[in-house]
Structure 1
Amino acid sequence: MTASPTHRSSGRTALRYSLALTGLGLTFAASAVAHEDDPKILDRKPPVAGSGFQAGVPMGALLPGGGANTAASSGFPASGVQLESWLTLGDLGNGNDNGNDCWGYVSPSGREYALMGTTSATVVVEITNPGAPVVIQRIPGPSSTWRDIKTYQDRAYTVSEGGNGIQVINLSNVDNGVVSLETTITGNGTDASHNVAIDEDSGFLYRSGGGSNGLRIYSLANPGNPVFVGQWNTRYVHDVQVVTYTTGAFAGREIAYCCAGLNGGFQDTGLTVVDVTNKANPVVLSQIAYPSREYSHQGWLSEDRTRFYLGDELDEGNSVSLTTTHIFDVSDPANATYIGQFDNGDPAIGHNMYSHDGKLFQANYTSGLRVFDLANLDNPTEMAYFDTAPTSTSASFNGLWSCYPYFPSGVVIGSDIESGLFVWTVEEPELEVQLVAAAPELIDPSGASVDVTITELLPGALDPSSPVLVYDIGAGATSVALASNGGTSYTANFPALPCGTAVNWYIQAGSMSGQTATAPEGAPTTTFAGLIGDQLIVARSDDMETTAGWVGGAAGDTATTGIWTRGNPIGTGAQPEDDHTPSGTSCWFTGQGGAGGGLGDNDVDGGTTTLLTPVIDMASLDAPIVSYFRWYSNDQGGAPNADVFRVEISNNGGSSWTLVEQVGPSGAGTSGGWIEHSFEVSSLVTPTSQMRMRFIASDLGTGSIVEAAIDDFKVTDIACGDGIGSLYCDANQNSAGRVGLIIGSGSNVVANNNLSLLAIDLPPNVNGYFVVSPNQAFVQNPAGSQGNLCVGSSTGRYINQIGNSGLFGEIPVVIDATSIPQPTGAIAVAPGDTLNFQLWHRDANPGVTSNFTRGYSVTFQ
């Protein structure tokens, strides 16, 4: 962790050093304030309460922390990583601690132990049975957010930013449950250290950082009594890997790969390669910078020592937007060069990484453990992951701090700041599950089919009885076996389900060895979402490019800044840079700061601010669903995660309100990002003609950074069969991004003569008219149209009822059963006759052209 950086927004740095210290003649002011302003403190969240999970303990049995064992593994998105156990900070002996670093130890008998640092102690945990870990001992140390641990022979060495030098922990009798603090080595400058490294081949220990220090070097000739032998302080060293070469031009020489810089690492940051063979006279071999550098944090060599992988802790969210790892060619340490970088598409901050067995294991804060295949050293590809912080992937200092992959058993451990110790097995994926096409948004109430492929990445791996569809309509998960089509092809068949309901679903398959693969990845935490119905009718769609009756600010608001406004937002570290609509620029958001402004420019301060929709008529809708994209950030500033974002609905124009959702004060959705939320209106209130919603952001009590935004508000109705006609024939998407449909009202009884048709989901403000034929057809792009003609010969046209789709994209027509237009003149329809209708309309895709709705077939009675 870095010396004392704070939050920064949109690349605008704000390092809050204490200027008063310069008046005291201190040349390194940052070290004097230690880590008081560090983002790890500013982003602090409370530790996870209760007990974790142990695969080797019966479900419901009590765990050491006093809680019952639960199937906690289902709460963490993962692929290729199996959770064996999870010990919370409470399970580790102090539920008020936070976690930090971890390392491992293997006793001469082969038993394996996790060593985890917490705020107050170093905790020794036996993980020989990874599914039933046992806490052996806590070795107290100075209170500190930063604690680092390494091992040599039968000793562990712990350092911290809290001081107390080097704690030497004796592990020689750990198999008998005895662990003791043997001695403490102080002196040689400040007793604080940021990190510790050990070259097990040479038997030397290296303290890095602590104040303005670079490397302080100790001999471990007597492992129980480290002896100071030299130092290198030309640069501040945040972290280091030290190795002794046994072959090649550098055989017999000891080389330190330092993540280092000047002024606490903030200036001229980069990779410094130092020959430390002569402890009295270390020599710099290479000094290499890299693009978009902010703060060189930690790195590790490839196993062949030709590449060094480096993570910069302050670039994500500032100079880069994705978790970035830099690659250096160090095949010649005296001429190291920068050769490139890679990312995995996540925005989380990269922290600690280690290479082993052809893989690179990274602890990347809010995205958890990430495992990369190093078959191509210059282009690693992600092969497995386990997200320990599933509620956020933002560039914040929460989640997984470190990992350790070197146990002979193949077990990997990880230390999480809020959640504690994780114990995993990492396996090569044996199966891959994929949908053949995109997940359907609308699922037929009478049943629907989804095509799936299940690929054996390891031949013979699939358990043939395992592939299932798992769906939930709110009454609990139900499994349906997939139908095998031969080879890798399967079909998921939904049964008949109640129209007008929402469904969450996923596909799952298992291997003979017990691995599970799902689509989407991360299920059941992440699922596909759909609606059960015959048609989706968009009753209202606001992309916020116009005001459209929305109002920012309401009576009773008290906020002094950050009042709701509509426009193109100027992004900060808390506010969006872009709206959500792909083709738009505007949204509603809380306060516009100035160009080049800071994180808190015009954020919500001093109270509440309210955004109101216009009054919306939902009385005529069968099963209205409201959806919107929201942005909310409250996890930065002086009082993070202290405020909430409320969304409410009224069915009487605003006289009374019902809560739709409350976001915060902590957890999912409080770190920014566009997130969609939808709900069935009738599950909260009775739909009326006087529906209204409001969105309330607030900053109450101690001031903090609060920003909110709303975009792409939509009211959708699920049509559950009109009992008159049926849709047929595929249609192409129109320029509004929708497929035009027809719904009927009245009846199909000839004698009643009261049939009306309504074309919906059209582009707004286009002209069109209905066509009719007793025959069906399928003609693609007739006469240059962008659509499909679905009516056949003897086509009549309702030229006398040309309509405009207006704001809501709808055109009606009244069907006179006594006068159906035909090329030869109007005819009357008789009971038993079938007529097929379609709407032709103007469109732009992108140039001026035309399009068609789906066909609609009516058999008259």
Structure 2
Amino acid sequence: MRFILIILVFISCQKDLDSTDQEATDTSGLNDTENSSGTTSSKYSTPCVDGFAGKYPCNGYDLLAHLDLSKFDSYQGNDSWGWTDPSTQKEYVLMGLDNGTGFVDISDPANPILLGKLSTATESSIWRDIKVYKNYAYVVSEATDHGIQVFDLTRLRGVEAPQSFTADQILRTVPTAHNIVINPESGFAYLVGTSRNNVFNGGVYFLDLNNTESYRFVGGYGRGGYSHDAQVVNYYGPDMDYTGKEIFLGSNESKLVIVDVTDKQNPFTISEVSYPNSAYTHQGWFDQDQRFFILGDELDESSIGGKTRTLVFDLKDLDNPLLYHSYFGTTNAIDHNGYVKGDLFYLANYTAGIRVIDISDLENKNMSEIGFFDSFPNQNSTTFDGAWNVYPFFESGVIAISDINGGLFLIKKSE
């Protein structure tokens, strides 16, 4: 059983190589236009009508535009994040790719402009992750000796033709990482999914981002084991014992680990909690009141079966976390990354695209799917295809979907 689990973890977060590439032959609804930068974008602006936006199943969300992987000169998509220029309020998508990171101006979301690409620091990898702090992007990968690429996003201002970008810096203290997590309130980054053979046993490294002239690694934590993903917050939730503390919530393969990381030299475990039928504890996000933590297990659907399962933990007492509720979705697809904005939970659900779930009444264990957009219309089975990530945080209401097979989709709630 342990051997089987290791194999499943190895293939997770990647494309099923035997599956159909939806972009290879199907161009229904495609309207290629040349934008001001001279690049070609796939312009749809297709409303969701009678359950479809063109060929894509949907409910309540319109397709604004689509850039397929050929536009990025890449074979696979992965993670994504966003940046809003504080000077111009222009919105940009940072698109993770097997061979680099693409930068897309979505200030006109029906006509996105590919501004260029930052190539991978070493070799291609299906695993790449990007986060933003102030005006800098930080890119990690599981590519050998990749390090952390630092990119000044203000360089995107005024770009008129697609560029081949280089990093401003590469930080090499941590050679590989599955993910990077940033707490924007403290200015610290947390590198997770690192080598199991390092000093923190695959746990988390702490990186101070507050001085871009002199980045400093200031500690780490490994007592909870390998951290695949995490959220880190300044805590103002219901547990008064930890008000104002910086709290790390780690998705650590078989459990949720809660750590006080306020003192970077002396982090300490607050608590750990596991749950029934765990297969691979993957990623989670606090609700807006920091009481409920919404967690996904990436391998339970494929190894155990059943509909997409989302776990809700009650963290009103951080010392005593409790599994509060299990929500089951409408398909058998595997859940991946999920984020909370207001009373909505946005879930990248691999072959089922993205699902939008109302969590306004979590206290009474009520969760209901109110919309979706399926960027992978082929099927909704348990393969590692389709929506890797969803970014719902743009003020404009535009939502970015990074799809393993299909590239970048821009959608918006139907009016």
Query: Could you tell me the TM-score, scaled by structure 1's length?
Result: 0.43
1:68 and 1:170 map into 2 onto residues whose CA distance is 27
Render the CA deviation track for 1:690-748: whole Å, top value 9, x for unaligned. Answer: xxxxxxxxxxxxxxxxxxxxxxxxxxxxxxxxxxxxxxxxxxxxxxxxxxxxxxxxxxx
Say if 2:250 is the partner of 1:258: yes
Render the CA deviation track for 1:535-574: whole Å, top value 9, x for unaligned. Answer: xxxxxxxxxxxxxxxxxxxxxxxxxxxxxxxxxxxxxxxx
* Structure ranking higher on relative contact order (CA contacts 8 Å, 6+ apart): 2
Match among 131, 147, 164 for residue 165 of structure 1 = 147
1:65 and 1:173 map into 2 onto residues whose CA distance is 18
Contact 1:53 1:71 in 2 (8 A): no
Q: CA deviation at 1:282?
A: 1.2
Structure 1 partner of 2:50: none
Match among 234, 242, 248 for residue 244 of structure 1 = 234
1:127 and 1:197 map into 2 onto residues whose CA distance is 24
Contact 2:194 2:204 in 1 (8 A): no
Match among 212, 216, 219 for residue 205 of structure 2 = 216
Q: How does 1:299-378 map to 2 (within 5 A)?
A: 299-377=284-362, 378=365
Q: How does 1:360-759 map to 2 (within 5 A)?
A: 360-377=345-362, 378-427=365-414, 513=415
User: Cα gap change, 1:172/1:52 in structure 2, threshold over 3 Å: closer, same or farther?
Assistant: farther
Q: CA deviation at 1:148?
A: 0.3
User: Cα gap change, 1:50/1:127 in structure 2, threshold over 3 Å: closer, same or farther?
Assistant: farther
Structure 2 partner of 1:193: 177
Q: CA deviation at 1:332?
A: 2.3
Q: CA deviation at 1:129?
A: 1.0
Contact 2:28 2:55 in 1 (8 A): no
- Given residue 82 of structure 2, which amino acid in structure 1 is its aligned partner? G
Q: CA deviation at 1:352?
A: 0.4
- Given residue 161 of structure 1, which amino acid in structure 2 is its aligned partner? E
Structure 2 partner of 1:105: 83
Structure 2 partner of 1:127: 106
- Indicate the RMSD between aligned Cα atoms, in angstroms: 2.6
Matched residues, number:
388
Contact 1:77 1:386 in 2 (8 A): yes
Q: CA deviation at 1:330?
A: 1.2
SS in 1 for 2:210: coil
Q: CA deviation at 1:171?
A: 0.7
Unpaired segments of 5 or more residues in structure 2? 47-52, 197-201
Contact 1:182 1:224 in 2 (8 A): no
2:308 and 2:133 map into 1 onto residues whose CA distance is 32
Structure 1 partner of 2:273: 288
Runs of 4+ in structure 1 off by over 3 angstroms are: 41-47, 49-55, 59-73, 246-249
1:386 and 1:417 map into 2 onto residues whose CA distance is 15
1:359 and 1:65 map into 2 onto residues whose CA distance is 34
- Given residue 233 of structure 1, which amino acid in structure 2 is its aligned partner? G
Render the CA deviation track for 1:190-249: whole Å, top value 9, x for unaligned. Answer: x11010000010110000012221100100121354310001112100000000125743
Structure 2 partner of 1:147: 128
SS in 2 for 1:217: strand
SS in 2 for 1:40: coil
SS in 2 for 1:237: coil
SS in 2 for 1:172: helix
- Given residue 349 of structure 1, which amino acid in structure 2 is its aligned partner? I
User: Cα gap change, 1:211/1:343 in structure 2, threshold over 3 Å: closer, same or farther?
Assistant: same
1:136 and 1:62 map into 2 onto residues whose CA distance is 13
Contact 1:47 1:97 in 2 (8 A): no
1:221 and 1:280 map into 2 onto residues whose CA distance is 17
Match among 170, 174, 189 for residue 184 of structure 1 = 170
1:68 and 1:41 map into 2 onto residues whose CA distance is 23
Contact 1:183 1:225 in 2 (8 A): no
1:302 and 1:39 map into 2 onto residues whose CA distance is 24
The percent of aligned pairs where both chains have the same amino acid is 34
User: Cα gap change, 1:280/1:367 in structure 2, threshold over 3 Å: closer, same or farther?
Assistant: same
Q: CA deviation at 1:164?
A: 1.3
Contact 2:333 2:350 in 1 (8 A): yes
Q: CA deviation at 1:51?
A: 9.6
Q: How does 1:63-82 map to 2 (within 5 A)?
A: 73-82=53-62
User: Cα gap change, 1:60/1:66 in structure 2, threshold over 3 Å: closer, same or farther?
Assistant: closer
Query: Could you tell me the TM-score, scaled by structure 2's length?
Result: 0.87
Q: CA deviation at 1:425?
A: 0.6
